[in-house]
Amino acid sequence: MRTSRHNSPQVNAGSMADIAFLLLIFFLVTTTISMDKGINRKLPKPCPPNTECSEPINERNILRIVLNSKDEIFIEDELVTLPELKDIAKSFLDNNGDDSCTYCNGKGLSFLSDNPKKAVISLQNDKLTSYNFYISVQDELTKAYYELREVYTKDVLGKTAITVTDEDIAAVKKAYPFILSEAVTK
């Protein structure tokens, strides 16, 4: 009997690295990367040591917003809806209660803020408030500030969002400072 030597079949592995590389590129290109959700805020500068940095705030200049565990919004112990929040915040901020604001369009009501520079929005939430609801509330408050700033840019500066300079942006932020407190107010 004659034995034949058979060469065992071999797999050409030369192109395996190329295929693996192409698959890697394919998955990198087609995979979507989820964006982190969060709030983009610039924190205030810390108070220097041995210095008293808190100043008394007039009660009418604080808009107290409380979020409970059922994702409900209470402003001054009154239930409001999420769509109403932006308009309430705008009315509070742009009130001109002390007639010192030359650019405000508010009605000067005695129970709302003195002016935008003194107005503080106090936001408190329950530990069981859902994160998405909390972000939605933050978004509505941010929209209120942005809309007031946009009106100021158009009416006072006479510019559009495209034509503003860095100095204009600083002036707008000074006119409507974003003062949001998440600390428990007294």
pLDDT in tens, 8-65: 777 666 677 888 888 889 888 888 877 766 667 666 677 788 777 777 888 888 999 9
pLDDT, residue 76, reads: 85
- pTM (global) more than 0.85: no
Instruction: State the DSSP string of 116-183.
Output: TTT-EEEEEE-TTS-HHHHHHHHHHHHHHHHHHHHHHHHHTS---TTT--HHHHHHHHHHS---EE-S
Mean pLDDT of 121-147: 91
pLDDT at 112: 87
pLDDT band for position 4 (cuts 50, 70, 90)? low
